[in-house]
Amino acid sequence: MTTIRSVFSPQCPSRYLLALALTLSCTFAHAKDIVAVDNAWVRPTNPGQDVGAAYMTLTSTQDATLISAESSVTKSVEIHSMTMQNGVMKMRMLKNLALKAGEPYKLAPGGFHLMLFDLKKPLAAGDTVEFSLTFRNGATEFKQQVKALVKAPDDAEQNHSAHEHHHH
């Protein structure tokens, strides 16, 4: 009599690989379900300018933290905040950016943004910049790929107030 061994039987070592593969695919598949990235754009730069800035809106379905960002157009991407202190605009690097569940978090001129250092070439209007954002949700880290259009800010984006939406 011939017996068919189930993939899920203890005698089948491939069941562990299957379980691992399913777990990993679920982790990667739901990254976009956890954090939605909308209206991603990058300000154009002038020839010789080696610093740029990127903006977008992040909305997480769960509490999560943006812990890093990378891009092929630059050697270094940092998370920055801008605040007005005693009539002077101050910019500082942040180690991460905490996102509260269900709360849109707008990275915009005059507020939080991504700084692009050591640009490999000027960023021209119409170009597309790709980013890999790394988030942490509890003990789980996941990456999300984002494409951002290089464009001049429109009036609403240019006049965005840093005081409109505060997070600490």
The more confident residue out of 150 and 24 is 150
Q: What is the mean pLDDT of residues 98-117?
A: 95
Is residue 35 a contact partner of residue 62, using CB atoms and an 8 Å limit? Answer: no
Pairing between strand 128-137 and 64-71?
antiparallel
The pLDDT tens digits for 112-163 are 999 999 999 999 999 999 999 999 998 899 999 999 999 998 865 554 443 3
Give the number of C-alpha atoms closer than 13 A to the C-alpha of residue 90, restricted to the C-beta side: 9
Across 21-35, 53-67, 138-152, least confident range: 21-35
- Return the pLDDT at 85: 84
- What pLDDT, on the 0 to 100 scale, is given for residue 165? 38
Locate all alpha helices (DSSP H) within 30-97, ordered by sequence.
Answer: 31-34
Please tell me the total count of domains within the chain: 1
pLDDT (0 to 100) of residue 117: 96
Which element (helix H / strand E) includes 157?
Answer: helix 155-158
> In terms of residue numbers, what domain contains 95?
33-158
20 belongs to a structural domain: no
What's the token pair of residue 46? 């002038």
The predicted structure's pLDDT at residue 158: 54
Could you write out the three-class secondary structure of 82-116? EEEECCEEEEEEECCEEECCCCCEEECCCCCEEEE
Residue 9 lies in a domain: no
Average per-residue pLDDT for the chain = 82
8 belongs to a structural domain: no
